[in-house]
A = this chain, B = another copy of it.
Amino acid sequence: MHYLPASEDDKRAMLSAIGAARVDELFKDIPPEIRCEKGLDIPAGLSEQELKTRMAAMAARNTAPGGAPCFLGAGAYDHFSPAAVDHLLSRTEFYSSYTPYQPEMSQGTLQSIFEFQTMMADLTGMDVSNASLYDGASATAEAALMASRIRRGKKILVARSIHPAYREVLGTYLRCLDLDTEEVPFGRDGRMDLEALSSALCPDVCALLVGQPNFFGVVEDLPSIARSLEAVDKKPLLAVTVSEALSLAILNAPGSSGADIVAGDARSFGLPLGYGGPYLGFVTAKKAHIRQIPGRICGQTTDEEGRRGFVLTLTTREQHIRRERATSNICTNEGLCMLGATIYLALMGRRGLTELARLNLSKSEYLKEALAKRGITPLFDGPTFNEFAVKLPAGAASKAAEALAGAGMIGGYPLGGDYADLQDGYLVCATEQVRREDCDRFAEVLGGLK
């Protein structure tokens, strides 16, 4: 009970101030028939020492990247994070504080949100950014909803090459809202099939969602896609989804390729893989759409003495003001992850981030070649960043995981489960965390599969 400061004396004194005889009296509004008579059916409390031993044992029953080189991406990329990031996130002033509702007491958090917004807008080529959403998947769904509010259309085109989990979440979000989706197929280069796109475009379409890079790691030709949209009367919005945020440092900013909204996940910026969460959803957009953005936004203002300061702003978009007419139901978001990404980006700087992206490209190209030498060639011929799909011998994809685990590696992602037409497709990724010899070994094991 070392988190509970009240001693018996305290309790007595407080009860007497209240005018109650026992603590249980305070619960008298709970009718006896719904009282928990038997107590809770959970284990007795543990000392910190026992607890830590137990959790460490559970942690040890996992094999994490680091212990094993990781060739798995598929929406979660194994990047290195400098120690300074976690050190700063461990300051209680950051991690134990609440959403900055009282700005005079929260300028540390608010200024860092403003910095995050500025950097994310720059990276994505947009004018404004929010302060985070849950993850890339729900951010993509929110972007779709945002587009449907802006363009008031009922139909949303979705690249079939968007991350399958993102598409599933999108489905969950759109299902009940009377919004239709239609998938746009990819071509042999793994990019969006522009002809199919053109024929899917109809007046009711309010937006097109496309991944950059897409789920296959392929870099889409966004300008051509944007041109296809412009050909339509009431131009649908181009919403681009980015699940590997590091790519923003080496690919043309979506905003300068015609995107109206960018949604995605910025976890790659210094945050742990963490078995899937917490991640860092975000949405950026062109200025015209400010009032339809979901989530918190921080703005610059001044205090009574004219000094610069920051506040949460445009709150009339939000649930606590607008209730059911809010732009989103989001309240608690991913504040500390946002701060971590801000620190990471400040450490990397424009040169560092660009060089890191190039290093990822180089590693991935090396892996491509190492695999090619073993007869494993890319599934698509479109350009890629740090991830690409290959074609394995028939049946090999299902055996890969075990063979690689046996060799102390974390393998790629078999595409057959999500794409019935890509049964032997296998998605692999190489970041700065894998070494040349890891790639060689990986190619060797994979090449040995029959």
Contacts and interface: CB of A to CB of B under 8 A. Distances in A.
A432 B49 contact: yes
B48 A80 contact: yes
A90 interface: yes
Interface string A23-58: 000000000000000000000000011001000100
A49 B90 contact: no
Interface in A71-101: 80, 82-83, 87, 90-91
A52 B432 CA distance: 14
A273 B285 CA distance: 53
Contact of A82 (B48, B82, B91): B48
A433 interface: yes
Contacts of A49: 80, 432-433
Interface string A420-447: 0000000000001100000000000000
Interface residues of A, number: 15
Q: How many copies does the complex hold?
A: 2
Nearest to A48: B82
Nearest to A83: B48
A91 B87 CA distance: 9
Nearest to A82: B48
Contacts of A2: 347
A7 to B, nearest CB: 12
Contacts of A52: 80, 83
Nearest to A91: B91
A432 B48 CA distance: 12
Nearest to A2: B347
A439 to B, nearest CB: 16
A22 B2 CA distance: 61
Contacts of A56: 66
Contacts of A87: 90
Nearest to A47: B80
Interface in A325-356: 347
Nearest to A87: B90
Contact of A90 (B80, B90, B432): B90
A347 B91 CA distance: 20
Nearest to A49: B80
A241 B347 CA distance: 49
A433 to B, nearest CB: 7
A81 to B, nearest CB: 9
A347 B87 CA distance: 23
A80 B82 CA distance: 28
A340 to B, nearest CB: 16
A345 to B, nearest CB: 14
A52 B91 CA distance: 22
A96 to B, nearest CB: 11
A218 to B, nearest CB: 27
Contacts of A83: 48, 52
Contacts of A90: 87, 90
Nearest to A79: B49
A80 to B, nearest CB: 4
Contacts of A433: 49
5 contacts: A48-B80, A48-B82, A48-B83, A49-B432, A49-B433
Instruction: State the 10 A-B residue pairs at the shortest beta-carbon distance, nearest first.
Output: A49-B80, A48-B82, A90-B90, A48-B83, A49-B432, A87-B90, A48-B80, A49-B433, A91-B91, A56-B66
